[in-house]
Structure formats: structure tokens, C-alpha cells
A and B are shown apart, each in its own frame.
Chain A
């Protein structure tokens, strides 16, 4: 099935949001928005779900916390009870205060890097990946809305174009794949 992609370009974030609101109210599904900066409020308008990266970071942090605890219990208590000044490390809990700084640091280390790696993988942004923005100006001062006919079966490409024309757009482009 052929798919027509319509790119509507705006020169202002607010104009794009207003345009998107209008189109969505007409039942059009806006597939994607390309912008040079985060546009506040666009996610709810075009139906981008809230990211769960925060939860992922928490889980990575928890993993780090457990690894640090297990590691230090093994190194300092089980494998070799270090005897400092005649005070050997008998139990993990008794020696806990000295272990807190590294436990904290390792928790932060795992949370931050786990989240960053997940972020890159989920985005598909990795070194050497090709840029996929439809127009180079979308990283400068242009805001582009992408609408696909395959996801808007109620409307034809020309219907969508007519609706886009009623918004405050600056350029309109169509691509068939």
C-alpha cells in the first residue's frame, strides 16, 4: 500500500501547536513533530506517551545499590575480614557506616549510566546514525509536522493538505513512499 507523507512546516512553535490542535480536533493523527527544541505541551496534543525512563533509572539505581551491598559484604566481611586496629569486620551491619559513601556513589553510577544507555538505544541515536529530520532547518528555527495517510484512513492526502492550509503554516511538502 502506498503511503503519502505530508510535511507541514511552521516558523513558530506556538503556531505549530495551534495547528496541531486544530488538526487533531478534526480527527487527524499527527504522526511526528520535528523541532529544534522541546515544545512544551505538544506531547499531549499529538498523543506521545509519557516516557518510562524515570522508572528505568530507578531500577538501575536499585541494581547498583544491591550490587554494591553484596560486593562489599563479600569483600569486607565474608572473603577477608579486614582487621583494623584489632577491630575485625564481623558483620555487615556493624560496619555499615563506612560502606555508605561507596554504596551511594555506585547507585548513582548505575542509575545514570543505565538510563543514558537506555535513552540512546530507545532513541536509536548512536554514533554514526544518519539524521532523519525531513528538512535541515528543523534544527534551526523551523517546526515540521508529519502526517501519514496510512494512519488517517478517513482522509485523503488532498483533504489533509486542505486542512493544513487553513493553519498558519509556511511550507507544505508531500512525499510518497
Chain B
């Protein structure tokens, strides 16, 4: 554990211990699910069932039930596919790329982001699957020996690259996710008392026992998987973009597609993570682990990738004009001013303008604003794929073939259905799986926990005055010599000075006695012990506490010595004011 600079904000708020982390994550699994969960999953299940019905109808009738025609032979199917794959990009990016960059804040969101990735990729894979028409021969995409003569799949085709890319991405993400889950399942297994649930989590945890050698292997496996998953993340959406970029259709035939698609995928993936995490942290009461700083970090990623996407849009427009190719120019002119101008305008507004608002710190640290923007970005990124696919196809080289695309109820039903299936899977996950990587979060408690950084509660006395660890340093015998740059809070004062402080304090806040005493324990942050200490100083009433300002807090700290800085941080005086008015 490295000593972390005091300038960095703590990643885990409050006075947490290892046990508290376990409790906080396991609570939703062990308790009855709230009524809202049942309502949500029922609604989602109905939508999912409708979607499955639409898919079955589609398979029965054939893809003629979609709104495709001779000109627009790819539309919502591939739009939805690319949209879902894009969403599936944030999970492995967070867990792999951010692991390589040693970004500790990832630990609060990686588990849920990876779950989102896996479910999103399942939804994505549905679309090419059902687009094949004959789902039962979908194994033909694999290079299997067969009786049709020497008939192999075409290894020159980006569509086949996609088969390999998506299936590799899905299975590697799944393994990465599950390897991380095993120790946490073991934690749940060891807490469960009911035999059946204990048995189930026992099977899921693979008999994990937390041996030193196993942890050693665990860390290397995580690191190596992160190392090979990182290029994998970038390859997947590059290959998805090849589906378009290697064709000769104006509007698709551009070399900037791979980086532009990857940035777009990360952009939309992080937006979906924000949408989900803002709900999860609230409902599951994980605000101490996923707080404004985490949201802000993700908003910065959204801002950067959104800007890359914006630059890519403008580059495309510039190249369409600068290349002098009239077909290319027309494709872009048609996007902006043709019959689908509204889709283009939605895409530009949602994806180019909205991420730029994140430059304002006030906005990117506002949770409500983040939530709204995350949904706006998801809508915008859906329109981006729609614009790229449909507007490029519907007016090709031959004007007599020009056509429009209108979705049918099956198109809409299948898409809405995948949203439903995704929500059902995610709700089940949130109910029965540890949504936070328990064991990983524990490893950052001492370096990034608020109590350890600021030296109160469980973290009191962990770092010596010279910045060294209270117990030991982690790197063999090398000395850790980082200086603490916080002011000394507990200055020893003489008996007389303390008396002086006490009388000054009581002069300022007014004196009281036992008979007038209020129940000071009602102030959050004050327990029975602290109440006694306060009484001994001469503070009995809410009125006294409400008069405290920073100077009085300092006086109080010098007298009690027990919780330096705590009164001010918890804002006792305004709490007391509220309590007085009750």
C-alpha cells in the first residue's frame, strides 16, 4: 500500500473498517429486496417477454417483418447491435485499462461496469444472430469441417472478424469478471446461515479460501488478463467499424472510423455506467464508496471521449468537402439537410454539445445533471449509429433506388425487448451478486479511506507524525519517508490554557447546567462517550452547540481532544439548529 498524497480526495468516505465494507456490500444480498425492486423487475420482465415474443415471431415469419427494403438492407438491427456493443465497452475499459494505469477509483465501479458489459454484449449478439434468419444454423459462422465440399468461412471478411472479436471479448470479459467475483462469493458464503444459500454461494465461490499463494496467483492473473484485455477492448470496436469502413459506400468509406468508433463506444459505455451507478449507489446505500469524485472522474472520461467524437464528426464533414468526391459530399449534405436531418441534429446536439458542458466543475460534480446527460448521451449515440447506417444507405449512387426506412412494430419490439432483458439481468445481478469488489476495495482502505487519510476513527494513529505507517511499511525494509502536510491538530496545552479555553468557549456559546440538558446524541457524530465529554466541558444544550463557529470548534477540539475536526465537518451547529426547531 503506497502512502497517498493528502491532496487526493479520499475514495472511501466515513469511518470504515474491513468488516464495515463487508457489511455494506452484503446487506442488500442478505436482506429482503425493497418493494421497488419487485416492481421494477416485473415491469422489465413484461417488456422482456414481449421482446422474446417479437423475436420468436421474427424467426417464425422471417426478417421480412422488419422494415428493411432493397435499398436500406441494414437498419435498426445493426444500429442496435453497434449501440449495445458500444455500451459494453466501458466495463472492460474500467477494469483493464484503468487497472494498468493503477487508477484506484475504478474499484468502486468495476464490478458493476463489467456486469453491464457482459449483459450488453449478450444483447448485442442477439441482433446478428436473429438477422441470420435461420438461427439454428448460426454455427455456420465457425470454420468447421463440413460436407459441403471445401467450404470455409471467409477469413477476409470483417463480418467474420466480428464473430471472432465479439465472442473473444465476451468470453474473456466473463472470465475476468468471474475470477474477480470468486473471493467475494466466498465472503458471502462464509456469512450465510441458511443451508441452501450457503450451498449455492459455496458452489459459486469454487471453494475459495484466501490462501497467500492463491492471492499471489490472483493478482498476476488479474494483471495479465488486464494486459491482454486492453488491446482487446480497442480491437473489438475497431473491427466493428471495419464492417462499415472496408465497404465502398459513401459515408462509410473513411479511415478515421476505428478510433472514432472506439472513442464513441467508450463515451456511450461510460454514460450507461453513470446511469446505472447513480441509481445503484442510491438504492443500495453505497454513497460512501461511489461518491461525487468517482462520478466526476467518469464525467471527465465522458468529456474527453465526447470531444474526440465531436472532432471526428467535424473531420468527416471537412474531408467530405476537401476530398472533392461529390458522392461523399452528397452523403454528408444529405445527412444534415435530407429527410433524416432530425436524426442528424439529435446526434450533433446530444454528442457534441452535451459533453462540452462537463468543462464546468459545478455541472460535472452535480449528480442530477450527470444523470440527465448520461441518458442524453445514450440517446445521442443510438442516433449516431442510425445516422451512419441508414442515411448512408437510403440514397445511394442510383437515384431511382432511393428509399426511406420506417421501422415496423417488430423492429421496435425487438429493440425495446432487449432493453427489458438487459434490465432484468441487471436487477438480478444487483440483488444476488456483490455489486462492489469487496476484496479489492479493502486493499485501498488504508491508502484512500477517509479515516486513514485524516486520522480519525479506525484510522487513528495509523500514520506516524513523520508520515510513516503506524505499524510497518510494506516494502521490505525500505523506509517510507513521505511527510504529512496536514497541520498538527492536537497541540498539547497546559492546564491553565485549557481552563482559559473553557471559559472563553462558555462565554461565547452561553453556559448551561445539567437540568437544562438536551439529548446531544441526536446530533449525528455524537455518541454516548462524546456526549459525556461535552457535558464535562459544560455543554448541555442544542442552543449552545448551535452557536458554534469555526473558532469555537477549535476551542472545543483543544478541550476534548477526541475527535479533532469532526464537529466542523459534520456541521454540528446547523444540526443543532434544526433540532432546536423541532
Contact = CB atoms under 8 A, between A and B. Distances in A.
Contacts, number: 218
Contact of A101 (B202, B235, B469, B474): B235
A136 B152 contact: no
Interface stretch (A28-36, A156-164, A169-177): A28-36
B220 A136 contact: no
A101 B217 contact: no
B206 A129 contact: yes
Nearest to B222: A38
Interface in B33-83: none
Given A53-B220, A140-B190, A36 B206 contact: no
B384 to A, nearest CB: 23
Contact of A105 (B165, B209, B211): B165
B216 A140 contact: no
A125 B209 CA distance: 9
Contacts of B407: none
A43 B215 CA distance: 9
**Interface hub of A14, A15, A136, A137 (most chain B Cβ within 10 A):** A14
B225 A112 contact: yes
B216 A51 contact: yes
Interface in B139-160: 143, 150-156, 158, 160
B361 interface: no
A32 B19 CA distance: 22
Contacts of A136: 190-191
Interface in A60-107: 61, 71-72, 75-76, 79-80, 82, 84, 89, 95, 98-99, 101-102, 104-106
Interface residues of B, number: 75
B210 interface: yes
Nearest to B161: A101
Interface string B162-178: 00110110011001100
Given A36-B439, A38-B219, A57-B224, A141 B152 contact: no
Contact of B210 (A40, A102, A133): A133
A124 B175 contact: no
A84 B210 contact: no
B182 interface: yes
A88 B156 CA distance: 12
B442 A37 contact: yes
Which of A34, A38, A39, A119 has the largest number of chain B CB atoms within 10 A? A38
Interface in A114-155: 115-116, 119-120, 122-133, 136-141
Contacts of A8: none
B471 A18 contact: yes
Contacts of B164: 101-102, 105-106, 109
A173 B183 CA distance: 24
B155 A119 contact: no
B266 to A, nearest CB: 19
A15 B167 CA distance: 45
Given A43-B216, A131-B189, A82 B156 contact: yes
Contacts of A40: 1, 443, 474
B155 A75 contact: yes
B158 to A, nearest CB: 8
Given A36-B210, A39-B212, A53-B224, A104 B235 contact: yes
B461 interface: no
The dominant DSSP class at the B interface is helix
Residue of B211, B212, B218, B224 most packed against chain A (CB within 10 A)? B212
Nearest to B169: A105
B472 A125 contact: no
B156 A123 contact: no
A14 B458 CA distance: 14
Contact of B160 (A48, A102, A108, A123): A102
B454 to A, nearest CB: 18
A46 interface: yes
Contacts of B438: 36
B286 interface: no
Given A42-B212, A125-B207, A140 B187 contact: yes
A141 B470 CA distance: 19
Interface stretch (B226-234, B323-331, B389-397): B226-234
B211 A33 contact: yes
A165 interface: no
A51 B223 CA distance: 12
Nearest to A72: B155
B215 A38 contact: yes
Interface string A42-59: 111010101101100100
B253 interface: no
B18 interface: yes
Contacts of B190: 131, 133, 136-140
Nearest to A52: B220
A125 B215 contact: no
Nearest to B20: A141
A82 to B, nearest CB: 7
Contacts of B218: 38, 119
A105 B161 contact: yes
Contacts of B189: 131, 139
A50 B158 CA distance: 41
B17 to A, nearest CB: 7
A6 interface: no
Contact of B175 (A12, A39, A112): A112
B224 A141 contact: no
A108 B302 CA distance: 28
A40 to B, nearest CB: 5
Contacts of A71: 143
A123 B165 contact: no
A120 B204 CA distance: 13
Interface in B300-355: none
A141 B219 contact: no
B213 A48 contact: yes
A129 B152 contact: no
B399 interface: no
Nearest to B232: A108
Nearest to B204: A127
Nearest to A128: B203
A18 B154 CA distance: 61
A128 B496 CA distance: 68
Contacts of A53: 217, 220-221, 224
A108 B217 contact: no
Given A82-B156, A139-B187, A46 B212 contact: yes
Which of A36, A43, A51, A111 has the largest number of chain B CB atoms within 10 A?
A36
Given A37-B439, A41-B476, A57-B224, A133 B209 contact: yes
16 contacts: A12-B471, A35-B210, A35-B212, A36-B438, A37-B439, A37-B442, A50-B216, A51-B213, A82-B154, A108-B232, A112-B225, A126-B207, A127-B204, A129-B207, A131-B207, A138-B210
Which are the 6 A-B pairs with shortest beta-carbon distances?
A: A129-B207, A141-B18, A136-B190, A14-B471, A125-B206, A141-B19
